[in-house]
């Protein structure tokens, strides 16, 4: 998602069991994405702390907050039921 050559405009990743570790990686890559307009990552497990990989709830929010502060192209994002 952070690749400058990626021309993806919409991405749906709902119901994929993405955990907090995967969610943080997605959030970090979206910081530099300049093409994506619509993103649906609803119905995953992003908001649940991942004890296996030692990611805490505060770290989850920080990654998504940085993404929202830095991404200037995303128009709609659905993160419901996480």
- Tens digit of each residue's pLDDT, the chain (82 residues): 777 777 889 999 999 999 888 888 999 888 888 888 999 999 998 877 655 566 665 677 788 888 888 888 899 999 999 8
In the block, residue with structure tokens 């943080």:
24
Q: CA torsion angle for 82, 69, 30, 46 (degrees, to 10)?
A: -20
CA 17 remoteness from chain centre: 13
The pTM score is 0.81
């Amino acid at each position: 998602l952070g690749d400058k050559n990626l021309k993806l405009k919409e991405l749906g990743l709902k119901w994929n069991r993405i955990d907090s570790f995967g969610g943080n990686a997605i959030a970090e890559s979206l910081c530099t994405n300049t093409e994506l307009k619509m993103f649906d990552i609803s119905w995953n497990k992003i908001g649940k702390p991942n004890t296996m990989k030692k990611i805490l709830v505060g770290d989850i929010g920080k990654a998504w907050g940085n993404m929202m502060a830095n991404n200037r192209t995303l128009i709609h994002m659905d993160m419901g039921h996480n």
